[in-house]
């Protein structure tokens, strides 16, 4: 069996959260701030210093809580005023790598039909 956590719905909370919260506390935030069920997607939270992320996702019969800490630098997160931001799986990969996923979203792969 392959452990694969994927979702068409990936949300980033645009306000820092108290990182003492675990699955139950984050589930309550999802219900109150995202106005959705914790089983409906992948939810990403960050701390005030922006050097830690927590991802909460449902995996078949239970929750998975993933924690990532950058040893250097800060995560590039949106400064939008709304409570949540939607991203896709590629942007999630960029975010986890510590890259500026918003700037990279406009990057397109060039395709050439002929070379000179």
Q: What is the pLDDT of residues 78-104, one digit of tens each?
A: 766 666 788 888 888 888 888 876 676
Is the CB of residue 70 less than 8 Å from the CB of residue 98?
yes
Q: What is the pTM of this model?
A: 0.81
The pLDDT > 70 percentage for the chain reads 84
Angle at 107 between CA 82 and CA 11, to 5 degrees: 30
Rounded Cα distance, 99 and 96, in Å: 7
């Amino acid at each position: 069996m392959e452990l694969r956590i994927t979702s068409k719905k990936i949300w980033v909370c645009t306000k820092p959260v108290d990182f003492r919260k675990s699955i139950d506390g984050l589930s309550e935030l999802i219900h109150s701030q995202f106005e959705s069920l914790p089983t409906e997607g992948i939810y990403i939270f960050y701390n005030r210093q922006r050097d830690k992320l927590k991802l909460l996702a449902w995996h078949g019969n239970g929750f998975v809580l993933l924690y990532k800490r950058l040893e250097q630098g800060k995560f590039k997160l949106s400064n939008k005023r709304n409570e949540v931001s939607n991203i896709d799986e590629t942007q999630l990969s960029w975010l986890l790598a510590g890259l500026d996923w918003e700037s990279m979203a406009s990057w397109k792969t060039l395709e050439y039909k002929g070379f000179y």
